[in-house]
C-alpha cells in the first residue's frame, strides 16, 4: 500500500481470511444486509493486503446496480482502494463498466449521490476513467443544490491539478462560476482553486470585492488570508495593496479567521502598530476562547512573538493585557501566562503587575480546588522573581508573601521562605521589616519543615533587641520548660501552667483536664471496683493539643530540635555583642541552655513517639559545649560561616542563571561574522522584509520531525547510514536491511530486499510483528523478485509510549519447488528517540521522587576511572540533564551524587539519582556505585535502566 496512493485507512482487528467462493456466493445470492456485511469484510481484507481479482466482476454484476445508499457509500470506498490496473500497468477492462455506472450516478436526481460521487472522483488517479465523465462533471456546476456544486468545483480542481489537459479551461470556467455564486461554501472552493491554479484571476476577484470581505463567511475569509499571505511573500510590493484587508479581518466574527489574520500580519509587517494589533488580537482570543488547547496554542504564538527582538519592545506595553489571561482556570495556561508576563515586564509597569498578582493571591484564599495549591506556588515564585529583578517592589511584596507561611500547602510556604532567605541576604535595608513580619507569622506556621527554615532565618539575621522577641516567640511555641516535667504533670492529670502560659505569652494553646486525685475508680466486668493510676497508662491515651514546636518533638521530629538549638546558640552569641551586662548575658545563655537540655531530656524520656537520634544528640551537645566553652573556632562557625555559605550558594545560583541566559542569547544570534552585508538600496525588495515563511517552516517540521532539526541533516547520507540495521546475513538467499526513521509518534521502516539467487522469487512477503507499545499500521504487499533483483518495501509503525519496543519477523517467498522462510534479526527501537533533556527545581524533583512508585536500581559496571567522565558518558547515553550545579560536582573527593531529569515527547517524566565512588588513593581503580531511576510508569523505568546497562556494556567492550 505504500507504493500506491491510499486515502482511506480503516483499522480492523485480525480477520479470518474467508474463501473467495463464499464471498462470491454472499455477494450474488445474499439479501441487502448480507451484501453490506460482505462488502465491509472485502474492504477490510483488501486494506490488510489480500487480493481478490475475481470479485470485481461479481460486484459489478450483483452489487453495483443496487440502489441502497449504504451500499453506494461502501462501493465508493471499494473502488477507491481496489487495484484498477493489471500487472502490466494497463487499465482493467471491467473498469469501463464501473465508469458507465458512475456517469449515471453523476446524473442521478438525488443530490447526495451526485455529491458523494464527485468527492470520490477527486481520489481517482486514472485519466482513462475520468475522461468520459468530464461532460457530466461540468454539468454538475449548474446543479440547483450547493452540495453538488461545491463538490463539482473540488472535482474539477483536483482533475486540473493532476491532469490539466482533461479540463484546459478550468481556471476560466471556475472564475465565471465564482462571479455568479451566492453560496459561501461554493465560493470558498472556487476561490481555493483559483488560489492554487491561477493566482492572477484570484487577485482580480479579490480586488473587485475587497470592501465586502468582512461580510463573507469565515471559510472564504480563511482562503483570502492564505492568498494574501502567499502573494505578499512572493511579491512584497503587493503588501500595501492588501495589508488593510488583513487589518479588517482582525475584527472578523470568526476566531479562526482572527488567529490566521494575526499570524499573517506579523509575517508581513514588523511595524509597531501591526505587532500591537496582532498581539492584542491573540490576547482577546485567549480570554474569550473556552477551549484550553486553543488558549495554549495562542499563548505559544505570543511567546514566539516575544522571542523576536523587534516585537518584544512593543509587547512590553501589553503586560497588563496578558495578565487578563490569569482568569483561566487551567494551571498550564496560568503558568505560561506568568512566565510570559515576567519576561515582558519592565520598570514602568512592574508596580501595576504586582498589584494584579496581589489580587490573584487574595482570590486563592479559602478556595478549595485541586490546582489552587499549585497556582499559589506559581504566584509566590513570580512575586519572588519580581522582587529580585526589581528590588524597589520588594517592600510591597514581602507582607503579602509572609501570609503564605501559615498556608496548609507546604510547597507554597517553602517557596516563600526561599524568597525571604534570598531577599534578606541581598537587601540589607529590608531585614528589619522581614524579621518583624516573620516573627508575627511564626506562631501560625503549620509545618515542621517551614518552622525549621523560619527558625534558621531568624537565628541568622536577627539583631539588637529583636533577639529577645525571637527567643520569646520560640518559648511560646515550645510551651512550658522543662518539657518532661510538664508532660508528666499532663499525664498525671494535674492542672498545668499552660493556661497561665497562654495568658502570659499568648501562644500556649495546650489544654488540660483536672481530676481530684492521681487515681480513678473503674468498675470491672464482674461489678467490683479497680483502681487505675495515671502512671500505668500509656502516654498515647490522651491526644492533647500542644504548642506547635512541642508537638513536633512529641511526634519524634527531633531534627527541628537540633535546628532550634543551633539558632538559640547564634542568638545567645549575638546577644553578648549587644548586651554589655554580664548578668543579662548569663541569664539569657542559661535560659537557652535549659531549652536545649530539656529537648535532650525529652528525647530520651520515652514520651515522644520516636526517640531522638544520635546525630541530633551530637548536634545539640555541640551547641551546649560552644555556649559553655566558647572556643574562637566554634564561635566563628556559628557567627560567620553559615551566612557565608548561604551567600556562596546564592552567588552560584545567580551565576548558573546568567550562564543559561547567555547560552540562550548565544543561540539566538542570527548574524554571523562572515555573513554578507545587505544594502537596502541594492536589494530587489524581497530579502529580509518579511517574517519567516510559516508554510515552509511547518513543512520542515513535518518532514524533519522537529522544529530544530533541519531537512539537510535529515537527508544527509551519514545520518541515514547510522540508522541502518542489517536484518539477514550476507550468505542468506535473500539479503535484507532496514533504515529506521523515527518521526515523533511514527516509525517508518524502509526495508531493502535483495534476491541473491538465480531463481525468480514469487510472492516475496515481508511479515512483521511487534512487542511493546508499537502497532503495525499495514501489512506490506507481496512482490516478485527477478534473479539478483532488489526492491524497497516500506512499513509504518505507530508508537504510543516511551518504552523499548522490538520489531521482529521473517521473509517468506516461493520458488519453483517450495516455500522458504528467512528469519530476520530483531530491530530494537531506541528509547532515546523519545527522550529530551529537561529541567525542574529541586522541590519539584523531590516531590516527583516521592510520588513516583516505579523504581529501577542499576549497579554501575564500567571501566571508567574518573567520576566526572562517567557522569558525562551517562548524560550523553541517556539524553538526561544534570540538575546538580557544576560547582557542587567540582573537585575530587572520591564520591559523587547527582540528580538527573528528562522528559519524553509523550509528557512522561524520568528521574535518576547517581551515587558513585572510587578510592582517592588508587587512581587506577574503577568507578563503583549505583543509579536509581524513578518514573510514573513501569515501562519508562525499565527501559531507561536497560539503556544505561547496554551503554555500560558497550563501554566495557570498547575498553
CA-CA distance, 129 to 111, in Å (whole number)? 22
Q: What residues contact 153, with CB distance under 8 A and at least 6 apart?
A: 141, 174, 177, 186, 189, 190, 193
* Range picked from 202-216, 326-340, 792-806 for highest mean pLDDT: 326-340
Examine the pLDDT at 535 and tell me if it is beyond 50: no
For the record, the C-alpha cell of 23 comes out as 464471498
CA-CA distance, 180 to 202, in Å (whole number)? 15
Q: pLDDT tier at 754 (50, 70, 90 boundaries)?
A: very high
Helix (H) or strand (E) holding 753: strand 746-755
> Which residues face 519 on adjacent strands?
533
Examine the pLDDT at 686 and tell me if it is beyond 50: no
Q: pLDDT tier at 700 (50, 70, 90 boundaries)?
A: low
Which pLDDT score, from 0 to 100, does residue 715 have?
Answer: 47
Which pLDDT score, from 0 to 100, does residue 441 have?
Answer: 84
For the chain, domain boundaries: 345-445, 722-829, 833-955
Which pLDDT score, from 0 to 100, does residue 744 have?
Answer: 65
> What is the number of alpha carbons within 13 Å of residue 953 lying toward its C-beta?
7
CA-CA distance, 580 to 899, in Å (whole number)? 49
Q: pLDDT tier at 696 (50, 70, 90 boundaries)?
A: low
Which pLDDT score, from 0 to 100, does residue 899 have?
Answer: 92
Which of 46-50, 708-712, 720-724, 930-934 bottoms out in mean pLDDT, i.e. has the lowest?
Answer: 708-712
Examine the pLDDT at 506 and tell me if it is beyond 50: no
3-state secondary structure of 746: strand
Order across the sheet with 790-799: list the strands: 724-726, 734-743, 746-755, 790-799, 774-776
Q: Tell me the pLDDT of the chain averaged across its residues.
A: 79
Which pLDDT score, from 0 to 100, does residue 735 have?
Answer: 92
Assess contact for 203 and 227: CB atoms under 8 A: yes
CA-CA distance, 639 to 600, in Å (whole number)? 24
Q: What is the pLDDT of residues 104-157, one digit of tens each?
A: 888 888 888 888 888 888 888 888 888 888 888 888 888 888 889 989 998 998
> Which residues face 911 on adjacent strands?
901, 934
Which pLDDT score, from 0 to 100, does residue 932 have?
Answer: 92
- Determine whether 376 is exposed, middle or buried from the number of CB atoms within 10 Å of its CB (0-12, 13-18, 19+): buried
Q: pLDDT tier at 959 (50, 70, 90 boundaries)?
A: low
Q: What is the pLDDT of residues 150-190, one digit of tens each?
A: 899 989 989 988 888 888 888 888 888 888 888 888 888 88
Q: pLDDT tier at 513 (50, 70, 90 boundaries)?
A: very low
Q: What is the pLDDT of residues 266-292, one digit of tens each?
A: 888 888 888 888 889 998 988 888 888
Q: Which CATH class is domain 833-955?
A: alpha beta
Examine the pLDDT at 541 and tell me if it is beyond 60: no
CA-CA distance, 431 to 931, in Å (whole number)? 43
Which of 174-178, 638-642, 830-834 bottoms out in mean pLDDT, i.e. has the lowest?
Answer: 830-834
> Which residues face 822 on adjacent strands?
811
Scan for cell 570498547, then name that residue.
Answer: 958
Assess contact for 549 and 510: CB atoms under 8 A: no
Which pLDDT score, from 0 to 100, does residue 734 have?
Answer: 92
For the record, the C-alpha cell of 736 comes out as 535484507
Phi first, then psi, for residue 179 (nearest 5°) are -65, -25
Q: Pick the residue with more confidence: 920 or 871?
A: 871
Examine the pLDDT at 913 and tell me if it is beyond 80: yes
Topology agreement, domain 722-829 and domain 833-955: no
Averaged pLDDT, 678-683: 57
Assess contact for 913 and 886: CB atoms under 8 A: no
Phi first, then psi, for residue 469 (nearest 5°) are -65, -40
Which pLDDT score, from 0 to 100, does residue 699 have?
Answer: 53
Q: pLDDT tier at 399 (50, 70, 90 boundaries)?
A: confident
- Determine whether 221 is exposed, middle or buried from the number of CB atoms within 10 Å of its CB (0-12, 13-18, 19+): buried
Q: What is the pLDDT of residues 83-104, one digit of tens each?
A: 877 777 777 788 888 888 888 8
* Range picked from 358-372, 479-493, 907-921 for highest mean pLDDT: 907-921
Examine the pLDDT at 710 and tell me if it is beyond 80: no
Averaged pLDDT, 671-687: 58
Q: What is the pLDDT of residues 553-564, one digit of tens each?
A: 888 888 888 888
For the record, the C-alpha cell of 487 comes out as 508532660
Scan for cell 490496473, then name that residue.
Answer: 85
- Dihedral, CA atoms, 190, 194, 196, 197, nearest 10 degrees? 120
Q: pLDDT tier at 346 (50, 70, 90 boundaries)?
A: confident
Examine the pLDDT at 510 and tell me if it is beyond 60: no
Report the percentage of the chain scoring pLDDT > 90. 3
Which pLDDT score, from 0 to 100, does residue 479 have?
Answer: 81
Examine the pLDDT at 438 and tell me if it is beyond 70: yes
- Determine whether 443 is exposed, middle or buried from the number of CB atoms within 10 Å of its CB (0-12, 13-18, 19+): middle
Examine the pLDDT at 588 and tell me if it is beyond 80: yes
Q: pLDDT tier at 408 (50, 70, 90 boundaries)?
A: low
Averaged pLDDT, 214-238: 80
Which pLDDT score, from 0 to 100, does residue 502 have?
Answer: 42
Which pLDDT score, from 0 to 100, does residue 707 have?
Answer: 45
Averaged pLDDT, 614-643: 85
CA 42 to chain centre: 42
Phi first, then psi, for residue 374 (nearest 5°) are -65, -40
> Which residues face 813 on adjacent strands?
820
* CA dihedral sign, ordered 568, 573, 575, 579: positive
Which of 414-428, 682-696, 800-814 bottoms out in mean pLDDT, i.e. has the lowest?
Answer: 682-696
Averaged pLDDT, 610-632: 87
Which pLDDT score, from 0 to 100, does residue 47 have?
Answer: 75
End-to-end CA distance of the chain: 46
**Tell me, which fold does domain 722-829 have in CATH?**
Immunoglobulin-like (2.60.40)
Helix H segments across 482-558?
483-492, 498-505, 548-554
The answer for 337, left when phi > 0, alpha when psi is -120 to 50, beta otherwise, is: alpha
Assess contact for 828 and 804: CB atoms under 8 A: yes
Nearest to 346 by CA among 370, 380, 312, 371: 312
Q: What residues contact 37, with CB distance under 8 A and at least 6 apart?
A: 26
Which pLDDT score, from 0 to 100, does residue 695 have?
Answer: 56
CA-CA distance, 957 to 959, in Å (whole number)? 5
Examine the pLDDT at 2 and tell me if it is beyond 70: no
Which DSSP state fits 289?
A: -
Which pLDDT score, from 0 to 100, does residue 461 have?
Answer: 84
Scan for cell 530520651, then name that residue.
Answer: 604
Q: What residues contact 924, with CB distance under 8 A and at least 6 apart?
A: 865
Which pLDDT score, from 0 to 100, does residue 671 have?
Answer: 60
Q: pLDDT tier at 802 (50, 70, 90 boundaries)?
A: low
Amino acid at each position: 500500500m505504500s507504493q500506491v496512493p491510499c486515502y482511506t485507512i480503516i483499522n480492523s482487528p485480525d480477520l479470518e481470511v474467508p474463501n473467495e467462493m463464499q464471498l462470491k456466493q454472499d455477494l450474488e445470492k445474499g439479501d441487502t444486509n448480507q451484501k453490506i456485511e460482505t462488502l465491509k469484510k472485502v474492504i477490510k481484507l483488501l486494506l490488510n493486503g489480500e487480493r481478490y481479482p475475481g470479485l470485481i466482476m461479481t460486484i459489478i454484476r450483483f452489487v453495483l446496480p443496487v440502489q441502497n445508499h449504504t451500499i453506494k457509500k461502501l462501493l465508493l470506498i471499494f473502488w477507491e482502494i481496489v487495484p484498477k490496473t493489471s500487472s502490466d500497468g494497463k487499465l482493467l477492462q471491467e473498469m469501463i463498466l464501473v465508469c458507465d455506472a458512475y456517469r449515471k450516478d453523476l446524473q442521478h436526481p438525488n443530490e447526495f449521490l451526485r455529491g458523494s460521487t464527485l468527492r470520490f472522483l477527486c481520489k481517482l488517479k486514472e485519466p482513462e476513467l475520468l475522461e468520459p465523465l468530464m461532460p457530466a462533471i461540468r454539468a454538475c456546476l449548474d446543479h440547483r443544490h450547493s452540495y453538488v456544486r461545491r463538490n463539482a468545483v473540488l472535482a474539477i480542481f483536483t482533475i486540473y491539478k493532476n491532469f490539466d489537459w482533461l479540463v484546459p479551461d478550468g481556471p476560466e470556467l471556475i472564475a465565471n462560476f465564482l462571479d455568479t455564486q451566492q453560496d459561501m461554501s461554493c465560493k470558498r472552493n472556487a476561490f481555493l482553486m483559483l488560489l492554487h491554479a491561477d493566482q492572477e484571476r484570484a487577485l482580480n476577484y479579490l480586488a473587485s470585492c475587497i470592501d465586502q470581505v468582512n461580510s463573507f463567511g469565515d471559510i472564504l475569509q480563511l482562503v483570502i488570508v492564505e492568498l494574501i499571505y502567499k502573494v505578499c511573500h512572493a511579491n512584497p510590493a503587493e503588501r500595501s495593496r492588501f495589508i488593510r484587508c488583513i487589518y479588517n479581518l482582525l475584527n472578523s466574527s470568526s476566531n479562526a479567521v482572527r488567529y490566521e489574520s494575526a499570524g499573517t500580519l506579523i509575517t508581513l509587517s514588523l511595524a509597531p502598530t501591526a505587532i500591537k494589533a496582532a498581539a492584542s488580537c491573540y490576547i482577546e482570543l485567549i480570554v474569550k476562547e473556552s477551549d484550553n488547547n486553543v488558549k495554549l496554542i495562542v499563548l505559544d504564538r505570543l511567546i514566539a512573538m516575544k522571542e523576536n527582538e523587534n516585537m518584544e519592545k512593543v509587547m512590553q506595553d501589553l503586560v497588563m493585557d496578558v495578565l487578563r489571561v490569569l482568569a483561566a482556570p487551567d494551571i498550564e495556561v496560568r503558568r505560561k501566562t506568568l512566565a510570559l508576563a515576567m519576561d515582558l515586564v519592565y520598570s514602568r509597569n512592574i508596580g501595576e503587575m504586582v498589584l494584579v498578582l496581589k489580587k490573584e493571591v487574595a482570590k486563592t484564599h479559602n478556595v478549595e480546588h485541586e490546582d489552587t495549591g499549585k497556582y499559589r506556588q506559581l504566584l509566590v515564585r513570580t512575586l519572588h522573581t519580581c522582587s529580585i529583578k526589581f528590588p524597589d517592589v520588594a517592600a510591597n511584596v514581602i507582607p503579602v508573601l509572609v501570609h503564605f507561611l501559615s498556608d496548609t500547602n507546604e510547597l507554597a510556604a517553602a517557596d516563600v521562605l526561599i524568597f525571604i532567605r534570598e531577599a534578606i541576604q541581598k537587601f540589607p535595608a529590608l531585614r528589619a521589616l522581614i524579621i518583624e513580619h516573620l516573627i508575627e507569622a511564626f506562631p501560625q506556621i503549620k509545618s515542621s519543615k517551614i518552622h525549621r527554615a523560619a527558625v534558621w532565618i531568624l537565628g541568622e539575621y536577627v539583631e539588637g533587641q529583636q533577639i529577645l522577641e525571637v527567643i520569646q516567640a520560640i518559648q511560646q511555641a515550645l510551651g512550658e520548660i522543662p518539657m518532661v516535667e510538664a508532660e508528666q504533670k499532663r499525664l498525671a492529670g494535674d492542672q498545668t501552667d499552660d493556661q497561665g502560659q497562654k495568658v502570659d505569652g499568648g501562644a500556649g494553646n495546650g489544654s488540660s483536664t483536672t481530676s481530684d486525685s492521681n487515681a480513678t475508680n473503674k468498675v470491672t466486668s464482674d461489678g467490683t471496683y479497680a483502681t487505675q493510676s495515671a502512671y500505668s497508662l500509656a502516654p498515647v491515651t490522651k491526644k492533647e493539643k500542644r504548642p506547635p514546636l512541642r508537638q513536633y518533638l512529641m511526634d519524634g521530629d527531633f531534627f527541628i530540635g537540633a535546628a532550634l538549638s543551633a539558632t538559640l546558640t547564634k542568638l545567645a552569641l549575638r546577644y553578648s555583642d549587644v548586651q554589655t551586662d554580664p548578668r543579662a548575658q548569663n541569664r539569657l545563655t542559661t535560659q537557652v541552655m535549659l531549652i536545649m537540655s530539656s529537648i535532650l531530656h525529652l528525647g530520651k524520656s520515652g514520651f515522644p513517639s520516636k526517640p531522638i537520634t544520635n546525630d541530633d544528640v551530637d548536634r545539640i551537645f555541640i551547641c551546649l559545649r560552644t555556649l559553655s566553652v566558647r572556643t574562637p573556632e566554634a564561635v566563628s562557625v556559628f557567627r560567620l560561616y553559615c551566612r557565608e555559605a548561604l551567600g556562596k550558594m546564592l552567588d552560584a545560583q545567580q551565576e548558573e542563571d546568567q550562564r543559561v541566559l547567555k547560552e540562550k542569547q548565544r543561540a539566538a544570534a542570527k548574524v554571523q561574522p562572515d555573513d554578507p552585508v545587505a544594502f537596502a538600496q541594492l536589494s530587489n525588495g524581497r530579502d529580509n522584509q518579511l517574517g519567516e515563511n510559516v508554510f515552509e517552516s511547518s513543512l520542515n517540521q513535518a518532514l524533519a520531525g522537529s522544529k530544530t532539526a533541519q531537512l539537510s541533516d535529515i537527508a544527509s547520507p551519514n545520518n541515514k547510514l547510522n540508522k541502518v540495521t542489517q536484518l539477514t546475513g550476507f550468505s542468506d538467499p535473500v539479503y535484507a536491511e532496514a533504515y529506521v526513521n523515527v518521526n515523533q509518534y511514527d516509525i517508518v521502516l524502509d526495508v531493502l530486499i535483495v534476491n541473491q539467487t538465480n531463481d525468480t522469487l514469487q510472492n516475496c512477503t515481508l511479515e512483521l510483528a511487534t512487542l511493546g507499545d508499537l502497532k503495525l499500521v499495514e501489512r506490506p504487499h507481496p512482490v516478485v523478485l527477478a534473479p539478483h533483483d532488489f526492491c524497497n518495501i516500506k512499513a509504518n509503525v505507530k508508537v504510543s509510549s516511551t518504552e523499548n519496543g522490538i520489531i521482529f519477523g521473517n521473509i517468506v517467498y516461493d520458488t519453483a519447488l517450495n516455500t522458504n522462510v528467512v528469519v530476520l534479526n530483531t530491530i530494537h527501537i531506541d528509547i532515546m528517540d523519545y527522550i529530551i533533556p529537561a529541567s525542574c527545581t529541586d522541590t519539584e524533583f523531590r516531590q516527583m521522587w516521592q510520588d513516583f512508585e516505579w523504581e529501577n536500581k542499576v549497579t554501575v559496571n564500567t571501566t571508567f576511572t574518573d567520576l566526572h567522565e562517567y557522569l558525562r558518558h551517562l548524560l550523553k547515553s541517556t539524553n538526561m540533564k544534570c540538575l546538580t550545579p557544576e560547582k557542587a560536582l567540582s573537585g575530587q573527593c572520591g564520591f559523587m551524587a547527582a540528580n538527573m531529569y528528562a522528559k519524553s515527547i509523550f509528557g512522561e517524566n524520568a528521574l535518576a539519582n547517581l551515587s558513585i565512588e572510587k578510592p582517592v588513593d588508587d587512581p587506577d581503580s574503577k568507578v563503583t556505585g549505583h543509579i536509581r531511576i524513578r518514573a510514573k510508569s513501569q515501562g519508562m523505568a525499565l527501559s531507561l535502566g536497560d539503556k544505561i546497562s547496554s551503554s555500560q556494556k558497550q563501554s566495557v567492550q570498547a575498553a
